[in-house]
Chains A and B, each alone.
Chain A
């Protein structure tokens, strides 16, 4: 499994980035995180699972509740954040390619 790519796929999703931002300042339960989104609770759970699997989030048991907190070490590993930069160029170039495939020279 290509873990590096998985981490970048994880942070490429806007909802998952929003979750990371939420827990960046405080650890939260799944319910507290889900209440910030209008998406269905199972969808948020799926996002939390992905973020936990690629170690961007850590779980912490406090009494009966599980809190999610950011894994600063892992975040630092991807801190050059080059993938969104690459994707930005990739999208631009894809657009260029599709426009030029339709291109008809002016008479």
Chain B
């Protein structure tokens, strides 16, 4: 089966591309990035602030199962409805630095649209750290489960 979301991350570079085609009209895809209530639903985060405009900024807050709060924020540099969003993204209190994100929205047909996301990190090393995080989290979750199993014996 062909994968709907594609990642193009060439070795040694400090950027990567994420592309995805949606069975949605362009306007609906863009709305999912514009409206705070919708962003909350699909990103699975609390939206503290989202100013969808040039010079705007945003703040997200996520609480993990242990009750720890994780904060994310960024500034919006370009906001062209149904076309393009240029913004920064930062995970607060992490060593990942600030990343630049260029999102381009494209109409494929009446009911299909495409998102091209270009993400630029501070360095190739930082990109590798971010890429490895979901795997590390999986390992940690598995590890915590083993720990709790062992403690219950």
Contact = CB atoms under 8 A, between A and B. Distances in A.
Interface of A: 11, 14-15, 17-18, 21-22, 36-38, 80-82, 84-90, 92-97, 99-101, 103
B4 A93 contact: yes
Interface string B127-148: 0101111110011011101100
Contacts of A103: 28, 31, 38
A88 B29 CA distance: 18
Given A86-B5, A95-B42, A100-B32, A17 B138 contact: yes
A2 B125 CA distance: 29
A33 B133 CA distance: 26
A49 to B, nearest CB: 19
Interface of B is mostly: helix
Interface of A is mostly: helix
Contacts of A82: 7, 9, 131
Given A86-B7, A99-B41, A93 B20 contact: yes
Contacts of B7: 82, 85-86, 89
